[in-house]
Structure 1
Amino acid sequence: MSTPPPVTTGSQRQQRPAGSPPAGLAEGATDFDLVAAEYDESLPGHVVAHYIRKRVRYITAHTRPGTALDLGCGTGTLARAVAAEGYAVTGLDPSRGMLGVLRRLTPGANAVTGSGTDLPFQDGVFDLTYCVAVMHHVAEPDAVLETLAEMVRVTRPGGHVLVWDHNPRNPYWPLLMRRVPQDTGAERLIPEREVIDGLTLGGAKLVESRALGLVPDFTPPPLLPVVAVLESVVERIPLLNRFCAHNVVLAVKE
């Protein structure tokens, strides 16, 4: 994680999408502040590591190292892994508590407090802009649209935008979201079509949309290798793969 692009005010930006004042992502900040200190410990480490590896493999397979924005970076677990692959990552999150943990774990990290609906960066400064498990917290349709437009805006022409989020078709998410402290019931699982349409309206062209992931959080460590193999099989089976855990939408800015 290296020197971040210059932070700007709204009056300094060009081509700023019209919309309401910062909302959506910023509205969930208090809930994550409350759990920030225990957040990483509340998740099964072996399952987290599995998905971090999966996401890093996807990013490195589809993009080249360059400047990257991790929108909704939380405590920085994925940002650190992406940075280790040669990307200059800037993290942004509305939760000061989560960013405090990130800075403690990664001294000198570039971490900015802000809202996804009003990104404090100039146009076209990132080669890659991505968010993982963020959009269902943004929730409100207008805020989702604004966040997607902002992700495209801060990405350079020819750069990539990646949205990796919960798949509404997967029946396990409502069960899990009822028992994790950071989810309050205000969340909304976002269909991939809504993400695709939002990125397209923002000025990006779809590269691919697919469903990935199947390993649940309750997988015992000894069974992870077996479940991971099953996951890779299901991901390749048409129709059945529509029920995988995550929708993954990759676009390129035109």
Structure 2
Amino acid sequence: MVDLGCGSGLWLQRHAATAESVIGIEPDAELLPTARARTQRAQVLAGSAEHIPLADSSVDVVHARFAYFFPTPMNACSPGLAEVLRVLRPGGSLVVIDNDHQHGEFARLLGQSPWAAAAQGEDDFIRRWWGERGASHHEVMSSWTFDTAEDLSAVLRNGISP
């Protein structure tokens, strides 16, 4: 299983609890040591969606959470998708988790940004882009809550910490 764009490695330990083998791929060299320190049960490699340092057909699942897959009219993500399809075994799965650009608070914030509206495209561009490539879409609404201001501050200061 590959965690593509694993960042600081928050999900590596959780993936390692159920997957036989976990590999984190991260393009930001500053995040690699933190990701590697999360668990001994995952290997963390420098790489990106466009350059995954793994053999063809070597992975059962690629998980991309808020990583590379933000298709826009200016950047259609096709090179990254082609690279993921290269490393996936026949019958493997790509799971992409992204923000909803049409519903909820995040979508409202994007709608107020002229840059975001231009970058993300109009209407349902992202859903159409994925649909044209054979992807299925499952909407899951979620929200963040924090018990204390310190917990919120920790997330804002460090990215997401365990």
- Determine if the TM-score, normalized by the shorter chain, exceeds 0.5: yes
CA distance in 1, matches of 2:23, 2:95: 15
CA distance in 2, matches of 1:193, 1:169: 13
RCO higher in structure (CA 8 A, sep ≥6): 1
CA shift at 1:165, angstroms?
0.8
Find the partner of 2:60 among 127, 151, 176.
127
Contact 1:148 1:195 survives alignment (8 Å): no
CA distance in 1, matches of 2:21, 2:119: 30
Answer yes or no: is 1:80 the counterpart of 2:13.
yes
Higher helix share: 1
Instruction: Give the aligned partner of residue 102 of structure 1.
Output: 35
Contact 1:133 1:166 survives alignment (8 Å): yes
> What TM-score results when the alignment is normalised by the length of structure 2?
0.71
Secondary structure of the equivalent of 2:22?
Answer: strand
Deviation per residue, 1:38-68 (Å, 9 max, x gap)? xxxxxxxxxxxxxxxxxxxxxxxxxxxxxx1
CA shift at 1:175, angstroms?
6.6
Deviation per residue, 1:76-113 (Å, 9 max, x gap)? 11121011113311100111111111122324741111
Provide the aligned length of Structure 1 versus Structure 2. 139
Find the partner of 1:141 among 75, 89, 92.
75
Task: Give RMSD over aligned pairs.
Answer: 2.9
CA distance in 2, matches of 1:80, 1:176: 32
Instruction: Give the aligned partner of residue 90 of structure 2.
Output: 157
Contact 1:137 1:187 survives alignment (8 Å): no
Ranges in structure 1 where 5+ consecutive residues have no aligned partner: 1-67, 178-183, 201-205, 223-254
CA shift at 1:161, angstroms?
1.2
Find the partner of 2:25 among 87, 92, 99.
92
CA distance in 2, matches of 1:212, 1:137: 17
CA distance in 2, matches of 1:147, 1:137: 11
Ranges in structure 2 where 5+ consecutive residues have no aligned partner: 149-162
Counterpart code for 2:38: L
Instruction: Give the aligned partner of residue 196 of structure 1.
Output: 131
